[in-house]
């Protein structure tokens, strides 16, 4: 579910975060190089570098000069905590309000939609 109104580096950050949270990259794992991720995502390498810099600033990745960028120890837990807080503070309130407005109940949420 891409949000085209967001800057590309934030969308890339979400892709990287999802990869970490989904276990594609675990604590200590080497992340794709800036150039490799740029090629894979069809993005400018400078934009990928900016997305990675966000993770560095948050202490979620570490750079080993000449080797690459790695998921920091404890990053998965910290990222999950950060994303959970963001979801509960920013994403959930309007969803909960819409649920209330539409009269949706818990059972409605568990019905499989095709």
Q: Where are the domains of the chain?
A: 8-110
Entry pTM: 0.81
- Residue 113 in this model has a pLDDT that exceeds 80: no
Higher pLDDT, 37 or 6: 37
Q: How confident is residue 5, by pLDDT bands cut at 50, 70 and 90?
A: confident
Return d(Cα 61, Cα 56) in angstroms, integer: 5
How many angstroms separate the first and last alpha carbons of the chain? 17
Does domain 8-110 fall under CATH 3.40.50.11810? My reply is: no
Q: State residue 2's pLDDT score.
A: 53
- Per residue in 6-18, pLDDT tens? 899 999 999 999 9
Instruction: Assess contact for 47 and 8: CB atoms under 8 A.
Output: yes
Selection from 1, 69, 58 nearest residue 35 by Cα: 69
With a CB cutoff of 8 Å and minimum separation 6, the contacts of 3 are 11
Question: CB burial class (10 A; 0-12, 13-18, 19+) of residue 59?
Answer: exposed
pLDDT in tens, 99-112: 999 999 888 887 76
Closest by alpha carbon to 36, among 18, 48, 24, 53?
48
pLDDT value of residue 1: 47
Query: What digits encode the pLDDT tens for the residues 61-101?
Result: 999 999 999 999 999 999 999 999 999 999 999 999 999 99
> In whole angstroms, what is the distance from residue 62 CA to residue 105 CA?
44
């Amino acid at each position: 579910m891409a949000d085209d109104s967001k800057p590309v580096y934030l969308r890339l950050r979400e892709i990287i975060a999802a990869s970490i949270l989904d276990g594609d990259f675990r604590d200590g794992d080497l992340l794709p190089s800036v150039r490799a991720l740029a090629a894979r995502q069809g993005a400018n390498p400078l934009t990928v570098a900016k997305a990675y810099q966000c993770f560095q600033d948050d202490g979620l990745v570490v750079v080993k000069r000449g080797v690459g960028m790695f998921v920091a120890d404890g990053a998965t837990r910290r990222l999950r905590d950060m994303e959970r807080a963001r979801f509960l503070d920013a994403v959930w309130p309007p969803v909960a309000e819409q649920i209330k407005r539409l009269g949706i109940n818990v059972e409605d949420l568990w019905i499989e939609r095709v």
